Amino acid sequence: MKFRVERDALAEAVAWTAKSLPNRPSVPVLAGVMLRVTDGNLQVSGFDYEVSSQVTVEVQGDADGAALVSGRLLAEITKALPAKPVDIAAVGAHLELVCGSARFTLPTMPVEDYPALPEMPESAGTVDGAAFAAAVAQVAVAAGRDETLPMMTGVRLELSGSTLSMLATDRYRLALREMQWRPDDPEVSINALVPARTLNDTAKALGPLGGEVTMALSQGAAGEGMIGFAGGTRRTTSRLLDGANYPPVRSLFPASHNAEARVAVSTLIEVVKRVALVAERTTPVLAELQLGRAGRRGRGHRGGAGERGDGGHLHR
């Protein structure tokens, strides 16, 4: 394998792929990224049996082939390279990288020991990349981080016709966001529980590319389904979490309320941060509303259901 590639394109591809690699892989090869050159295209891939990432970059290929090297090490090296073309060649059990006056020799791992990446599931539809990234960011923040409760670490996607709903909760707060998308089947009705971290990282990577993001989904036994996302030259897949017993969190939103206040989001954030300076991390923040001349008051506290993704409304 021998090729030349632009430094920025290589660094960006390796950084995105290496980001999803496990910190403590069960086997050494899972800490690597696969570099495979075919017909003038470089595929940079990573896979840990749960999440796969792959990006394609155009290169000047002199010889096709493949090499498996440490993903995090290669990411650090490519990030530090000067802004010049990079020449890479596999020589024996090493990978040689030359960029300007910089030269590195990296040990490689056996390509034959690396697992095959899963195929993309069947396409379910497309969604605007930028809008999708913004929606995921609003919801994923409410997902849990306790790995002993894996169901709470996911974002529930509800695909119903042209409406895509996202829900997440850590049992103390709840986020809901609804948006429009373009399903391949207008009558689609599917629910899927996606790991929040994977979904958030994927949306951040695909959103800035602009254009459409393709969502692909396959349903299997509990916890055995798979979801895929593709945008531009990037694609990623993830195993779904078991969401069969996901709580009916929509019922936590009241059907009616006694009072409504419209508050600027930036102002509310500023006030809460100021008050929280004298509170412990888990201490509730009391909110008192004075509405209208009648002096009606409503009270709420941080820690219950009520985080919405559709603006700055606070309901009582």
Examine residue 75 and state whether it is found in any structural domain, yes or no: yes
Q: Are residues 135 and 157 in the same domain?
A: yes
- pLDDT bin (cut points 50, 70, 90) of residue 160 is very high
Residue 311 has pLDDT above 60, yes or no: no
Q: Are residues 167 and 238 in the same domain?
A: yes
Q: Are residues 130 and 234 in the same domain?
A: yes
Q: Domain with 8 in it: what CATH number?
A: 3.10.150.10
Cα–Cα distances in angstroms (integers) from residue 88 to residues 67, 72, 94, in the given order: 10, 17, 11
How many domains would you assign to the chain? 3
Examine residue 212 and state whether it is found in any structural domain, yes or no: yes
Query: Could you report the per-residue pLDDT of 132-146, keeping only the tens digit for each?
Result: 999 999 999 999 999
Examine residue 264 and state whether it is found in any structural domain, yes or no: yes
Query: What range does the domain containing 67 cover?
Result: 2-113
Residue 257 has pLDDT above 90, yes or no: no
Examine residue 39 and state whether it is found in any structural domain, yes or no: yes
Q: Are residues 243 and 129 in the same domain?
A: yes
Q: Are residues 154 and 223 in the same domain?
A: yes
Please provide the average confidence, as pLDDT, over all residues in the chain: 88
Q: Are residues 232 and 139 in the same domain?
A: yes
